[in-house]
Structure 1
Amino acid sequence: MAVIDEKVQALEFTATTTKSRGQVRQLFDDAAQVAQGEKITLSGTDDLVTGVARNFVRMQHAAFTLALTTGASGSTSVEFRIPDYLRTRDTVLSFIPVSPWSAPAYKTLKQFSEYVQNGL
């Protein structure tokens, strides 16, 4: 597995908070505004929020999900997963790799993930 795959998987998390669903959803919106680099667009229902990170020409670089579940004690559980992201590699003559794999949206996803985790 490439190093970038491990880095992206490390951004995924499951956390529990005492905040209401409305507060958690507002936190997601705030995180999308704070993250720099890629533009993050959120959509979905109260239970499942899907996000897309796009560059300035609206090319999709990553897709992620935020699943919300309510526990018996009134707590809210948040699960952040990144099932799809673009990987790139610099090459010479279109087939000789000269750099390790990278993900253009990694920095943005990292800022988003950290902001949500710190807010929970």
Structure 2
Amino acid sequence: AVPTGEEVNNYKTFLQYLKSNASLASAGRIPFQLQMLCCLWEEKIHDQSEGSTTTDIYRAIIDHMIPFGDKEEEIKLCLGEIALHSIQSENLVFLKENIVQYIERYSIELEALISTGILVVLDGKRKNIFQ
């Protein structure tokens, strides 16, 4: 289908927006990140100021993609601690017992973390984390 004049203008505006911000331009070089930027643009969930940082961009992407519900802050902090532990221990696989301490600290349910799509539970057949 041939794009309408409005679609062409929106496309040009989006390209100009990407070019005007170094953080955006660098994020736009990675296909997945470019797709997320396009989604944010289409949904009009973006900050058109030229001072957007990479952190601002990722925050907008995460906020748009993940259904946090009413425990948003607790879930983000819990996932952050799990990520930090993962980096420090150089390990991406955890036993359920290791995750429980974070869940209890933030008074959230395991299902709330899993519903974000960031934490994945694999079954025991694959020698996974939550057995």
Which is strand-richer, 1 or 2? 1
Which is helix-richer, 1 or 2? 2
TM-score over 0.5 for the pair: no
* TM-score (structure 1 length as normaliser): 0.26
Bigger Rg over Cα = 2
Bigger relative contact order, structure 1 or 2, given CA contacts below 8 A and separation 6+?
1
* TM-score (structure 2 length as normaliser): 0.24
